[in-house]
A and B are shown apart, each in its own frame.
Chain A
Amino acid sequence: MDLQLLTYIVVGATFALYIGIAIWSRAGNTGDFYVAGKGVHPVANGMATAADWMSAASFISMAGLIAFLGYDGSVYLMGWTGGYVLLALLLAPYLRKYGKFTVPSFIADRYYSKSARIVAVICLIFISFTYVAGQMRGVGIVFSRFLEVDIVTGLLVGMGIVFVYAVLGGMKGITYTQVAQYCVLICAYTVPAVFISFQLTGNVLPQLGLGSQTVGEQVYLLDKLNQVIMDLGFGAYTDGSKAMIDVLAITLALMVGTAGLPHVIVRFFTVPKVSDARKSAGWALLFIALLYTTAPAVGAMARLNLTETIWPEGASAQALAYDERPQWFRTWEQTGLLKFEDKNNDGRVQYYNDGNAAFQRTAEARGWAGNELTVDRDIMVLANPEIARLPNWVIALVAAGGIAAALSTAAGLLLVISSAVSHDLLKSVFVPNMSDKAELLAGRIAAAFAICVAGYLGYNPPGFVAQVVAFAFGLAAASLFPVIIMGIFSTRINREGAIAGMLTGLIFTFGYILYFKGIFITPLAENVPENWLFGISPEGIGVVGMLLNFAVAFAISRVTAAPPQHIQEFIQDIRVPRGAGGAHAH
């Protein structure tokens, strides 16, 4: 059966499954809509959290980034998993005990302030929208490559599907759909990885394959990869090139950012008990770890396969002749994500590191006139099964997995946006005496509106989708995370301190990223290490924003009145598990 038909069948079947689940689990009231009626089993919640969390970025981009960054890619692996330790230990159980629907509600109640709620809503909406735009773009790319429809059609189909189950099903529909999506995406990710690991090393577990010897040779895979790419002027795969301070800052910013992302935090409101919230974080990380421990193997093996395809006899022999390029090379060339430019006009694809001055002489002696192959990092996971010549059904599965990853995250984000608007703005600030039914309707309208905005952003990415990933994490780390933590662990931080802290962290981080990345404006300074504060890149600056947030909040709280008595009792109450009822609204 040809690939396109097969892809249509596999993707179509998964869509039918998601819609079926959505109809079966429609939301009947605001409790169902916001927190799935608080009755989700911790294991199911863990799977849903994993699907919610692992976006198109994790599924499509991460292994590709690791393939080209080598050791430096570890910042994503540790950063995006280590945050769950912070969530499980510092946030999830207490927020579950608190038991209301949204993150801004917690901030509003703990800091007895409507202004704090509004600042939190602004942070939340900004973080979530930047994220969701990237997801819709991911859906568009997968559709246009595998189903060969144009990006607009792909986007409209994706929006339609999310609309059905997010708007009708709310959190309940989303949770059960995400469980199914997790199963699809994890199969789609691990099946090709197992095949490739077995082909290269004879070991079926990619986690072990990465540390094994290659088939038929007495050499370890990583040693071989180091050798192969160093022969082409690249740095060793297992060594980093980023400055240590920056690696530390980025890792910490991603960890803290993870723990501060509203769509992740809200998942812990859906389990029945406080003890379930702790356990659920563990299950979530277990399901995430299945993908995250596979990703380094996928990255390294893809890099090796790619390099060996281009240099079948090694770097000192002839490169691949362009006329003999394999089929996947041709199909990806059509998307423009893979480019060949014959700089020395010999009809062969010389792929090497032309940015390495020390390697320049070797390259010239061999008659190379610059690197001739540009590979978009985002295509590595999608192209991987084709590069390794796996059967067509595996490729179809990968397409379905990429779409599942993007849709599940988009749905979770849309839900927090809609609950922030309907619950935190309308119900709590503007129309306090709104009925449950009207609030549910408002939530659905807000979700529908958010989908349209997301679709528009996906079609017209403001040119910074890759940059805003860092942006969203930095903002979450610098704004929401510190005030939630201080709200639980300090009895002294008050309204004034929290608001000042949030604003400081937000404005500092926003300003720093704007200064170097120039979103909406031209950058004010070149984005190079010499210009960075303490040598920390905009990706890692959320850490400094977070420290400022803590410092300002402590200082201001010291010189203003302590929180009132009922807040002291509130804090004592969320610190113990007993008495946690279902999540409630009032």
Chain B
Amino acid sequence: MSQQESRDAYWKANLRVMAICLVIWFVVSFGFGILLADVLDNIQIFGYPLGFWFAQQGSIYTFLVLIFFYAWRMNQLDREHDVHED
């Protein structure tokens, strides 16, 4: 595989991981936290209505997991496609 092809494959793989993360990002914050909040509020987890929990707590935890997952997965991809540093 030429260097250009390898780089294109890397970029495609990167875009795929990114798209998955962004879909989750959107669904959890805008979906669960806002659009579906009223529906989810009918479910109660301890003292939290679920929609309210997603809006004020759950979305933030999800963001954190997403960033660390992306960083970890990209490090793998960097190596697989031989574009990592040092």
Residues on A lying within 8 angstroms of B by beta carbon are: 66, 71, 73-74, 77-78, 81-82, 84-85, 88-90, 93, 207-208, 210-213, 220-223, 238-240, 244, 247-248, 251-252, 273-275, 278-279, 281-282, 285-286, 289, 292-293, 296, 572, 575-580
Contact = CB atoms under 8 A, between A and B. Distances in A.
A572 B71 contact: no
Interface residues of B, number: 42
Contacts of A289: 60-61, 63-64
Contact of B33 (A74, A212, A223, A572): A74
Given A89-B22, A275-B75, A293-B57, A578 B83 contact: yes
Nearest to B10: A576
B60 A85 contact: no
Interface string B68-83: 1011001100100001
Given A77-B60, A285-B63, A577-B85, A211 B53 contact: yes
Contact of A82 (B29, B70, B86): B29
A261 to B, nearest CB: 17
A81 B59 contact: yes
A248 B35 CA distance: 8
B7 A251 contact: no
Given A85-B67, A211-B46, A273-B85, A575 B11 contact: yes
Nearest to A284: B67
A251 B35 CA distance: 12
Contacts of B74: 93, 275, 278
22 contacts: A74-B33, A77-B59, A78-B33, A82-B29, A82-B59, A82-B63, A85-B25, A85-B63, A88-B67, A89-B67, A210-B47, A211-B53, A212-B46, A220-B47, A252-B30, A274-B85, A275-B74, A278-B67, A278-B75, A296-B56, A575-B11, A575-B14
Contacts of A240: 37
Contacts of A66: 56
Contact of B60 (A78, A213, A221, A244): A78
Nearest to B81: A576
Interface string B31-67: 0011101000100011111001101110111011011
A278 B45 CA distance: 33
Nearest to B45: A211
Contacts of B7: 572, 575-576
B16 interface: no
B46 A238 contact: no
B67 A281 contact: yes
B59 A580 contact: no
A323 to B, nearest CB: 36
A212 B48 CA distance: 8
B49 to A, nearest CB: 5
A274 B21 CA distance: 19
A424 to B, nearest CB: 27
Given A211-B45, A576-B10, A81 B63 contact: yes
Contacts of A580: 85
Given A207-B57, A286-B64, A579-B85, 9 more contacts: A78-B55, A78-B59, A88-B67, A211-B47, A212-B46, A222-B52, A248-B34, A285-B67, A289-B61
Q: Which 9 residue pairs of A and B lie closest in terms of their CB atoms, listed nearest first?
A: A220-B47, A74-B55, A282-B67, A278-B71, A211-B46, A296-B56, A211-B47, A576-B83, A211-B48
A283 B70 CA distance: 13
Contacts of A88: 67, 70-71
B26 to A, nearest CB: 9
Nearest to B65: A282
A578 B34 contact: no
Contact of B18 (A84, A89, A221): A89
Contacts of A85: 21-22, 25, 63, 66-67
Contacts of A212: 46-47
Contacts of B55: 71, 74, 77-78
Given A77-B60, A223-B47, A289-B64, A577 B84 contact: yes
Nearest to A288: B60
A210 B68 CA distance: 26
